[in-house]
Amino acid sequence: DVKVTQSSRYLVKRTGEKVFLECVQDMDHENMFWYRQDPGLGLRLIYFSYDVKMKEKGDIPEGYSVSREKKERFSLILESASTNQTSMYLCASYDRERDTQYFGPGTRLTVL
């Protein structure tokens, strides 16, 4: 079974802090994704990575950056957290054979 893990289930940070959200997958998938999920807005793609050190902006990249130094790990970085970044963050890994995304359990981030 594919396993996607995220570093924290819940996180509370202060405005202006630098925040790292980590995602690890164990299936050697090339493509990985970061989404945020907000009530009434559904899932919105923040960033997408298609290989080590390769990334592409999604629909809402502003205020975020990403890092993919190793194939299994895709990190989302909030350089200076703001209250409007309070959200559920979901990481996913793509199985090309099954054309399916596998999601981590999510990180609920609160920025005070």
Interface contacts to another protein, rule CB under 8 A: 4, 31, 33, 40-45, 48, 50, 59, 88, 90, 92, 94, 96, 98-106, 108
Minimum CB separation of residue 28 from another protein in Å reads 14
Structural contact between residues 61 and 48, judged by C-beta atoms closer than 8 angstroms: no
Smaller CB distance to another protein: residue 12 or 17? Answer: 12
Smaller CB distance to another protein: residue 43 or 80? Answer: 43
DSSP H or E stretch at residue 48: strand 42-51
Query: 51 has which bridge partners?
Result: 54
Sign of the CA dihedral 103, 104, 105, 106?
negative
Minimum CB separation of residue 97 from another protein in Å reads 11
Smaller CB distance to another protein: residue 13 or 108? Answer: 108
Minimum CB separation of residue 57 from another protein in Å reads 12
Q: Tokens representing 53?
A: 């050190």
CA dist 96 and 112 (Å) reads 39
